Amino acid sequence: MSLCRLVFGFIQILNTQTITPILFLKSIFYGLYMDLSIYGYLMVLLCLIILMGHLLKWINIKKCISFYTYFVIFLMATIYGIDSILYQEWGFRIDDTFFNYIDKSNEAGKFISSNAVVYFLFYFTIFIVIGIYIIKWISALKPFNLSIKNGLIILLLIPMMIIPIRGGFGLAPMNPGKVYYSNNMFANHLAIHPLWNIMYMSLQNRKMATIPNHMTELEAKDHFDTLLLKNSNQTFQWLKTQEPDILLIILESFTANMLDAKYQGIEILPNLNVLKAHGIFMKNAYASGDRTDKGLAAIISSYPAQPQSSIIKYPSKAEQLPSIYKQLKMKKYRSSFYYGGDISFASMKSYLLGSSVDRIIDKYDFDASTYNAKWGVHDHILFEKLTQDLLKEPRPFIMTGLSLSSHPPYDIPDADVWNEKDETTLFVNAAHYTDKALGKMVEQLKQSERWDSLLIIIIADHGGRYPDKVSYCEPKKFSIPILFTGGAVSLDTVIQSYCSQTDISATLLRQMNISFEPFKYSQDIFSPQYSAFAYYAFNNGMGWMDSGGYRIYSNDKKDFIEQQGSCYFTEAYIKAYSQIVQKDFTEK
C-alpha cells in the first residue's frame, strides 16, 4: 500500500502539486499508521475466511482466498485510480462524496470526460500491476498449512487486529489527525489511505441526522441576512494597541455555573472570580456545542456546532474553514497550540494544521515522567511550559493552551479540597485545581515585561452538567465564561449582551483592524449593529437565547420542546439560522 501511495504521490507531483523530498518521505512513514489499520480490517476478513474453510469442509479454501485476494487488488486499484484523477480537481482524498455524484447520473456526467477515462485506465493498470507483484512475492514465501494449531493462532490473531485497526495503544482511535503532521496540506493528504478515508467518512455521515428544511432557501437566507447584518465600521476600541501579543486559554468543561459559586461552603473558582473583575467579562456567553471538537471550531473558526456531528472530523470540510490563525498571519503573527494530551484525539491535529497553526505542542513534547494524568500531563505542567515559552516567544504571536484536567476521570496531582468521590465532587476538585494553576500563570505573566502588550482571552470549550446537574439540553449546560484581560485591555467592565464563542473572531479582529469577512457567523460584540443572541446545538436539537428568553428545539419531535419568556427573535429566525448552518455544513 505504501507503493501505491508512492505512485499516487508522483502522479500528483506531475500534476503541479509541490512537496519537498523530506516531506514526501515523512508522508510515506506517517501513512503506515493507516496502512496498518486497513491491513487489520483485511486480515480479520481473511482470518474469518480461513476459519470458515476449516469448519466447512466443502468450501475450497484456496479458491476463496485467491478470490478474496484478487478482489482486494481490484478494489484498491480502482480506488487509487479514481483518487489519482479526482485529487487534481477536488484537492482532497476520495471519500463518500464520490458516491453521491455517482448516484446522480447527470452530475456524474459533468466531470467524466474521455481524458479522465483514459487516465483512469492507465492509473488502474499501474496499481493492478503493483498489487499482483506483491501477491506473487508473498506467494513465493513458505506456504501456510491449516492445522488445529494454526487455527488457534488465527483465533488469537483476530482480536489482536484491534491494535492496528485503532492505530495503536493510545486513547485516541485512528483518525485523520494520526497521520497529519505538516502545514503542507498535500503532505497530509498523501499520508491518508483512500479506502480508510471512504470507510471513515461514510461512518461519520451516518451519524448525521437528516434535518428537514423549515422554509425555502430564499426565505432562510433573507432571515439569516437580517439577523447577521454586516457590521458597520464603528466599534468601541478597548485594546490599547492594534498589535497585542495574544494568549488564548481554552478551559475544559468550565461551565459558568461555577463562577461566584461555592461548593459545600468553599469557593470553586477563586482565581477566575478575581480575574473576571479585571478586563471585559461576558456575563451571558454560551458555548456553541457540547464537546471540545465543536468548541474548537466555534472559537477558532467561528463555525456553529452541528447537532449530531462535528465539522473537524471531516478534514475536507474543515480545511475550507477560516481561522483566527490564518487571519493573524496577515500581520505576521506566529501561532502555536499547547495541549497536555494526545493532539490526534478527535481529529484535532488535522483541524489545527488545516487552520495554519505553525507549531503544535502535545504530551509527546513533555518529559515522559510527567505523564501522570490519564490523558497526559496535568494542567499546571502545561501552563508552566506555556508561560516559559511565552516569555521568550518572538513578537507578535498568538499562543493557545487547551486544558484537560477537568475532563473525566478528573485525576489531579493536588490533595482534594472536597473528599467525596461522587462525580460532582470529582469535577469541582479538578476545576478548582485548574483554576489554581490558571491564577498562578496569570500572576507570573503580570510580573513580566510582556504584560503591557499582552491580551489574554479566557474561554471554555463547552459547559457541563455539574455542579448543578442540569439537563443535557437546557441553556445552563452551555453557559460559559468569556473574558478579555491582560495589560493590553484598556478597561474593566461586564457585558450583559448575549453572545457566543463564534463571536470571538469578529470581536478580536475588528479591534486589530483585520478583516473578519470570511467568518460568516461571527459578530463584533461591540458593534452598534450587533444582534445579541446565542445559538447552541445538542444531540439532535438546538437551543436559542436572547434578551427575551430561550427556546429549545428537538429535531426528533420536529418542534420546540421547551421555552421560557418570549424570545426577541421569532421562531422563523431561529429555524432559518439552523437551516443555513446545516446546509452550509452539508455542502462544504
> Annotated binding site: which residue ranges?
252, 292, 407, 461-462
Q: Which three cell numbers stand for residue 447?
A: 510580573
Sequence-distant (≥ 6) Cβ neighbours of residue 498 within 8 angstroms: 284, 285, 286, 532, 533, 534, 545, 546, 547
Using an 8 Å Cβ cutoff, are 294 and 310 in contact? yes
CA-to-CA separations, 210 to 103, 205, 309, 540, in angstroms, rounded: 18, 10, 11, 10
* β-strands 493-500, 280-286 pairing: parallel
Buried/exposed code over 438-471 (b: 16+ C-beta within 10 A; e: otherwise): bbebbebbeeeebbebbbbbbbbbbbbbbbeebe
Give a three-class secondary structure readout of 350-361: HHHHHCCCCEEE
292 is catalytic: yes
Binding positions for substrate are 407
Question: CB neighbours (10 Å) of residue 381?
Answer: 21
Amino acid present at 376: G
The CA distance from 363 to 371, in Å, is 8
Using an 8 Å Cβ cutoff, are 17 and 190 in contact? no
Binding positions for Mn(2+) are 252, 292, 461-462
Buried/exposed code over 89-119 (b: 16+ C-beta within 10 A; e: otherwise): eeebbbbbbbeebeeeeeeeeeeeeeeeeeb
User: Taking Cα atoms as reference points, which of 350, 6, 313 lies closest to residue 185?
Assistant: 350
Instruction: Give bridge partners of residue 500 from the DSSP assignment.
Output: 286
User: Taking Cα atoms as reference points, which of 386, 387, 380 lies closest to residue 360?
Assistant: 386
Per the document, the length of the chain is 588
For 9, list phi and psi in degrees, rounded to 5: -60, -45
User: Taking Cα atoms as reference points, which of 68, 125, 92 lies closest to residue 12?
Assistant: 92
Instruction: Give bridge partners of residue 431 from the DSSP assignment.
Output: none
The CA distance from 187 to 181, in Å, is 8
CA-to-CA separations, 256 to 63, 88, 160, 282, 495, in angstroms, rounded: 64, 47, 44, 10, 14
For 179, list phi and psi in degrees, rounded to 5: -110, -5
CA-to-CA separations, 260 to 114, 414, 420, 424, in angstroms, rounded: 68, 22, 21, 17
> Residue 254: CA atoms inside 13 Å, Cβ hemisphere, count?
28
Angle between helices 423-446 and 379-390 (to 10 degrees): 20
Sequence-distant (≥ 6) Cβ neighbours of residue 454 within 8 angstroms: 244, 245, 246, 247, 445, 486, 487, 488
Q: Which three cell numbers stand for residue 38?
A: 486497513
> Which of the following is catalytic: 292, 400, 425, 485?
292
Show which residues are catalytic: 292
